Amino acid sequence: MKKMLRTLSFVPTLLLAAPALADQALAMQNGCMGCHKPEGQLVGPDFKQIAARYRDNPGAVELLTAKVKAGSQPGEPLNWGQVMMPASPGNPDDIRTVIRWMLTH
């Protein structure tokens, strides 16, 4: 009985982790992880840096979705440095899902 209770205690954790893992997988499928990672700079800023900058902006999801879809050139607004961000061919709904995940983690 104790073993079963211990096993069942992990179920809520797994249920809460499943959407986060799915959204990270979606980020990988859409090429985000080629230049970004959750923590620590790769080519572009990490997700923590982006979230810190935009988390309190009520229009952040749509603003960032448009930026990801359009890409950027060095020196353009919202750019994080001198490296160009290529336009994403990803589905806008998938991009929004990844951005929402990024802003809440």
Residue pLDDT, tens place only, 18-56: 455 668 888 889 889 999 999 998 999 999 999 999 999
> DSSP string covering the chain, please?
-HHHHHHHHTHHHHHHHHHHHHHHHHHHHTTGGGT--SSS-SSS--HHHHHHHHTT-TTHHHHHHHHHHH-B-TTSTT--SSS-BPPP-S-HHHHHHHHHHHHH-
pLDDT, tens digit, for every residue of 68-103? 999 987 777 667 777 889 999 999 999 999 999 999
Check which CATH number belongs to the domain holding 33 and give it: 1.10.760.10
Domain encompassing residue 44: 2-104
Per the structure, the count of domains in the chain is 1
pTM of the complete model: 0.74
Mean pLDDT, residues 53-63 taken together: 95
Q: How much is the pLDDT for 21?
A: 60
